[in-house]
Structure 1
Amino acid sequence: MLGSTFQPTGFPDLGAATFDRFTGTTTEPALLVESVQSMANRLEATAWDSGTHQPHTAVTGLPHVRVERAGTGEFLTSSRLEAHRLASPFVREAILEGTKMTQVIAQRLGLAKDTPLNFPHMAAALAAMDPFCLLHGVFFAHKEWLGQPRFPRATSAVIEARNVRRAPSGGRKADRVRHQLDKDGTGGTSEGYGSVPFHRLEWTAERIVASFVVDTALLRSYGLPDPAVAMLETLALWEIRSLLTGGLRLRTACDLDLAGDITPRRNTPALPDLDTLTDQLAKHITDAADTLGTGEPIVVQWKG
């Protein structure tokens, strides 16, 4: 939306992730605009109101773990915000009714010595604690969680730019007060004084494509009741539509907008509009209530 260039995601010691994309018998230069892991965070963020530290009203009735500071009740984080979700150290080290969450989660997942992992049982337990873990994945890697169960992402997304070209530019940070630096003392550019030129690299592309996948077979493999599976599938679609409807301002210099609607693949139906998905999601949450625990936040205390 802002000019013809954009700033892609970058990685330490790598910068922009460029690659050659095959187009039949030839290749074209391509670029990763937003990674799978970053898109997972953006999809989850559609269901969270950062201004109130509460879930979006559309997902009312879906449980999650809310982490508060012990003694003050100050909101710290939640399983919806943490990179590792329920496996986050802030969740793991918190206390629920006198018991450490590491033990609570292990007990609810049925983790025990010399006992095979029971994925249907664990999936049901996750649905009652935070069903978003079934959509976006969770890895209980801590050594106290026997078997270290892992649930892969059922929803994945990525944004790629195709047939890309570099667009170098630059600028200058100006100092309107200090016109001359003292070379023998402090107050130089390392302290932030003076005028400093800089360069920046942006990119331009023939087209930018976002791709989304919902692994419905994976969701069904957990053996959850049909209403719960329908709720998870609809939640995934709601996140996708919500992200696309709300705009894709990924960074200051990466402001994207839809050039066309989602094109279904593999004979799947078209993606409904946001209002339709919101209504469907509310119905499925109600129908799946028996799978969703109390449907309320699980409030835990973190002492630090």
Structure 2
Amino acid sequence: MSNRTIHRIGLRPILGSRFQPTGFPDLGPALFERSGANSTTTDALLVESVQSMANCAERTTWDDAEAEQVSSLAGLPHVRVVTSDGEFLTSSRLEAHRLASAYVMDATVDGGTGEAWLETLFGLAKGRPQNHRRIAAAICRLDPLSLVHGVFFARGRWPWQPKIARALTCFIEADGVRQAVSGGVKKDSVDQSGSNTDTGYGMVPHQRVEFTATSITAYVAVDLDQISSYGLGAPGEELLNAIVDFQLATIFEGGLRLRTSCDLEVVDPPSSGLPSVAVAEERVGNAIASAGGLLGPITEVVWSERSVKAKK
């Protein structure tokens, strides 16, 4: 049986009882039936997906206004992508594919491409097996968040395509759900004769489908065995677990405003099993200070449209 830390955290809407769940193209809300005792079923709903919660967790590490990592994580490395003019563009904390982002792969690093730079750092060679611990150590020096949330280097030109699974899994589900149908109208104070959604003029009525639920629960699993398998030693394991605690504490203590109509709070914070933000900040600060040579500097790479055109 694998070694995991599990949290089940009760949530509720901050205002009223309605909430808007995540939606999917050509599907809409992800409704399903949950099996219960004595062959009973409950109408259930996916409120927030694993991938979306991973994005929420990573957002806790970034200050959008400053285009920098939050001060609580000072000393933690990441990859910054800038334009040829030195203007900030994105970072490994903001990209869906993290270190495997096209903006990193196609960037210029040390006179070569980001793709060639990473292939060398990972020690990838044809006819030789992957050294998983070397890859994990290299990723830790660049951005440990990719060891927490996973990264897949799907590079056809490489002899191997390294893949790190998620060590932190989190999603939100609701039980006993019912639709709450409402609507509204986009008003036009000049022309009320009709509607034209193509031009934006006229009166445009619309329907809104939200939900109520008897319970909303966030499910969290931290795979401690996977974190241990990276071979980073006790300081590395403590660092990654402290980062997880920091992200979870920041998400749930501050409330989850996932969308305009999906603003949730923890039902009973002390029973959630999570540390306070203050405790988590102290832990992660100490872990960063103790990590020593596991962490590299912040890496800046240069991306330009010219390099992408040249590649094509």
TM-score normalised by L of structure 1: 0.93
Structure 2 partner of 1:167? 180
1:122 aligns to 2:125 (yes or no): no
What's the offset of the Cα at 1:225? 1.9
Checking the alignment, whether the CA contact within 8 Å between 1:109 and 1:122 is kept in structure 2 is yes
Supply the distance in 2 between the matched residues of 1:220 and 1:22 (Cα, whole angstroms). Answer: 34
Structure 1 partner of 2:109? 96
1:141 aligns to 2:141 (yes or no): no
Residues 81-126 of structure 1: CA distance to partner in whole angstroms, max 9, x if unpaired?
0000010000100011211110110000111111101111100000
Structure 1 partner of 2:242? 234
Q: Closer, same or farther in 2 for the Cα pair 1:262/1:103, shift >3 Å?
A: farther
What's the offset of the Cα at 1:46? 0.4
- State how 1:43-58 maps to structure 2 within 5 Å: 43-58=57-72
- The DSSP-based 3-state class of the residue aligned with 2:266 is coil
Structure 2 partner of 1:292? 295
Checking the alignment, whether the CA contact within 8 Å between 2:193 and 2:203 is kept in structure 1 is no
TM-score normalised by L of structure 2: 0.90
What's the offset of the Cα at 1:222? 1.4
Letter of the 1:298 counterpart: T
| Partner residue of 1:74 out of 75, 78, 87 | 87
1:190 aligns to 2:198 (yes or no): yes
Q: Closer, same or farther in 2 for the Cα pair 1:180/1:152, shift >3 Å?
A: same
Supply the distance in 2 between the matched residues of 1:116 and 1:249 (Cα, whole angstroms). Answer: 44
Supply the distance in 1 between the matched residues of 2:286 and 2:176 (Cα, whole angstroms). Answer: 43
How many residues align? The count is: 291
Residues 139-162 of structure 1: CA distance to partner in whole angstroms, max 9, x if unpaired?
000212321110000001001111
1:155 aligns to 2:156 (yes or no): no
- State how 1:210-289 maps to structure 2 within 5 Å: 210-261=218-269, 270-289=273-292
What's the offset of the Cα at 1:61? 1.1
Residues 225-255 of structure 1: CA distance to partner in whole angstroms, max 9, x if unpaired?
2101111011101100110112111111111
Structure 1 partner of 2:20? 7
Supply the distance in 1 between the matched residues of 2:270 and 2:112 (Cα, whole angstroms). Answer: 46
Structure 2 partner of 1:109? 122
1:209 aligns to 2:217 (yes or no): yes
Checking the alignment, whether the CA contact within 8 Å between 2:196 and 2:202 is kept in structure 1 is yes
Residues 195-216 of structure 1: CA distance to partner in whole angstroms, max 9, x if unpaired?
1111111000011101111111
| Partner residue of 1:38 out of 52, 68, 72 | 52
Supply the distance in 2 between the matched residues of 1:231 and 1:300 (Cα, whole angstroms). Answer: 25
- Stretches of structure 2 lacking an aligned partner (at least 5 in a row): 1-13, 306-312
Q: Which runs of 4+ in 1 moved over 2 A?
A: 187-190, 261-264
Checking the alignment, whether the CA contact within 8 Å between 2:179 and 2:212 is kept in structure 1 is yes
- Identity among equivalent positions (%) equals 46
Supply the distance in 2 between the matched residues of 1:189 and 1:288 (Cα, whole angstroms). Answer: 56
What's the offset of the Cα at 1:29? 0.4
Checking the alignment, whether the CA contact within 8 Å between 2:72 and 2:281 is kept in structure 1 is yes
Deviates more, 1:96-105 or 1:79-88: 96-105
* RMSD of equivalent CA atoms: 1.3
